[in-house]
Structure 1
Amino acid sequence: MAIMSAQLIFSLSLVFLVSGAHMATISITNNCPYTVWPGTLANAEHPQLAETGFELATRGTKTLNIPAKWAGRFWARTQCSGSFTCATAACGSGQVACNGKGAVPPASLVEIKFQSDDGQDYYNLSLVDGFNLPVAVAPENGSGSKCVKATCSANVNAACPASYK
């Protein structure tokens, strides 16, 4: 059973806390000097979160409740207009909520799988869809040698060093 908390940074951060077969909590912090609009997308066969997109001001933090055994991704959209078109990582919904739509590249991704088949939690940073913002996941109260902060602070051509945990 994994018990962990982490923080996601676009220069956003994510913190997650999991306990047994219970709900997890993720805190997303915007460390950018401008507003971002994080988006969420559940993996197939997992429920979408109650909020699939929201506005997050500079130094703002948003906490989300995540169902047990959930898997999905997070990213942040930038320079979004009143008609909700974004310069990067738009989800094509034309609104703040992404409603089951993923990010249009470029988008720095944080992927998380809570309580996988082996009972562990996994997270990684991915630039497979390009790079639009620095991201980090900083676990708290986790255990094991792989429960460490993962960061991707620059465009490194689709792979962040130490990004898989």
Structure 2
Amino acid sequence: MMITDDDHESCLTFWPHVECNGAGAIPPASLVEFTLAPDNGKDFFDLSLVDGFNLPLTITPQGGSGPNCTTTRCQGDVNSVCPSELAIKGSGGDVIACKSACLALNEPQYCCTGSFGSPDTCKPSNSSNIFKGMCPQAYSYAYEDRTSTFTCSGGANYDIVFCE
């Protein structure tokens, strides 16, 4: 994947680093996640706000097939409704990112760990409900496979747009 930075001023998350080394993002960060199947198998993809939100994202499949091979997006401005205890502010005082409850509090009931490590015991928090309300197609907590996982068969390509 190649990321261009023609408009880096509107998307400071990437400037001056427009590449990653596969180690993941430093949260809070909006994530694009892929599991790509070889030999034209089924790809799985999603948008994740499980670790927080910092910018809007869109994934649009090009080619590929299947009933769930469709554009997924998070275009809501979660930062504008971020609870103050989860807000990360920039030098100008504006909210530039919003932590998840897991990231902010590191408690099992928010991180879906320990005795809360299953879909039956881990439920959405107030902050994950805020994220889901603003970005209904994105994961807002660990167990949203049914509403937030998308698939394409047949060797699709993907357009990923940040800060749209």
Q: TM-score, normalised by structure 1?
A: 0.41
By percentage of residues, which structure has more strand? 1
Q: TM-score, normalised by structure 2?
A: 0.41
Ranked by relative contact order (alpha carbons within 8 Å, sequence separation 6 or more), the top structure is: 2
